[in-house]
Amino acid sequence: MLKTIGVTFPKTSQWYNTQIRLMDSIKNQILTRFPDSNNLFINMTWFGPQFTKNQEYKKFQEFVHYINIDNIFLLASEDPCFYNKEETKQLITDSGASQSFLLGHFDTEYNFNFHSTVIGAFFPNYNEKDLLLEQAKYTFLNYNRKPRDHRTSFVEMLDSLNLSKFGIVTLGNDKTLNETVGEYQEGNWGMKNDLGIPHDISSLGRLEYWQKHFLTVVSETDFEDHLWTFITEKTWKPIIGLRPFVINGQSSVYKYLRSNGFKTFNKYWSHIDLETCNIDDIHKNICSVIQFLHSQDMEKMYLDMLPDLRYNKQRFNEFALEQKHKMENLFA
């Protein structure tokens, strides 16, 4: 028996078909591995008592009240899980399940990165000439669509320190801090441009801007480290695009990347702490990196980094295939 709880993206979403294929695959794997068990499968996207409109949490409470659960499977893939680690443990306890399986971007043996498989499948086939730094005209690039708190706070700090003029910065709705960006180019998903910036998950945007910036400041989805480490296409873009990067997001991203064989670049500004600093200092320290780089020979530094940048791009291709294999063989 398999009971599924949780909502999916609407059919109009770019994620819908990939999400349905993933969920169908996992359900088939569960039934193959545990055919005689009472199995509960929860898609954690928009799941929790705070989401009163979809009633999925209420369905969970009713189901575990009447059925003894053998195995509970929690899936977090396309979007963040809104439960932190302690809340996730409590949810499992409340289910009464004998065994639990945390699938996706949980820090468990069933971890896989969904976004790498999607971006690997849909990105243009850039050649290296498309990606290499032609000229360090811009110290950094920082694309923001949804104006989440940690993004607006960072952009405000850039403004206050007069650093926006050194980069290409966008923010959802009506704020384009560097007017030279012009019209942002969409990828091949055909997203609805609902915040003033296309939801482009499948390209690097306009290459004339990509080729002229040195550092990508990645505005990830999650910021708090007490949540599960969540890595989206935003982090994979500079890796595919042969750029050093810093993360406006969870500091655990650096550790995750290195543990999966990627190079990070904080050694080039090792006097500035981006990984163990207090969360309140992350924006200030990223700004310090920008200020430091602006005084350096970035084109020379880029040539020094290039072997690691090329390695990262190749490692990403391998990693995306590894993640696809893990998704398709979760209980092997």
Is 184 contained in some domain? yes
How confident is the model over 131-148, as pLDDT tens digits?
A: 999 999 999 999 998 888
257 and 180 housed in the same domain: yes
Count of C-beta atoms within a 10 Å radius of residue 129: 9
pLDDT band at 177 (very low <50, low <70, confident <90, very high): very low
Total structural domains within the chain = 2
- Ramachandran sector of residue 318 (left: φ over 0; alpha: ψ -120 to 50; beta: rest): alpha
The residues, any chain, with a CB within 8 Å of residue 298's CB and separated by 6 or more, are 133, 136, 139, 214
188 and 286 housed in the same domain: yes
pLDDT band at 224 (very low <50, low <70, confident <90, very high): confident
pTM of the model: 0.90
98 and 127 housed in the same domain: no
* Domain membership of residue 243 as a residue range: 121-323
Residue at a domain's end among 111, 135, 157:
111
Mean of pLDDT values over 311-325 = 96
217 and 282 housed in the same domain: yes
Is 91 contained in some domain? yes
- CA distances from residue 227 to 43, 142, 146, 148 in whole angstroms, order as listed: 17, 23, 19, 16
How confident is the model over 87-115, as pLDDT tens digits?
A: 999 999 999 999 999 999 998 999 999 99
Is 179 contained in some domain? yes
137 and 276 housed in the same domain: yes
The phi and psi torsions of 268 (rounded to 5 degrees) equal: -75, -15
87 and 132 housed in the same domain: no
102 and 160 housed in the same domain: no
How confident is the model over 236-291, as pLDDT tens digits?
A: 999 999 999 999 999 999 999 999 999 999 999 999 999 999 999 999 999 999 99
Q: What is the pLDDT of residue 195?
A: 47
Residue at a domain's end among 53, 88, 111:
111
CATH number at residue 201: 3.40.50
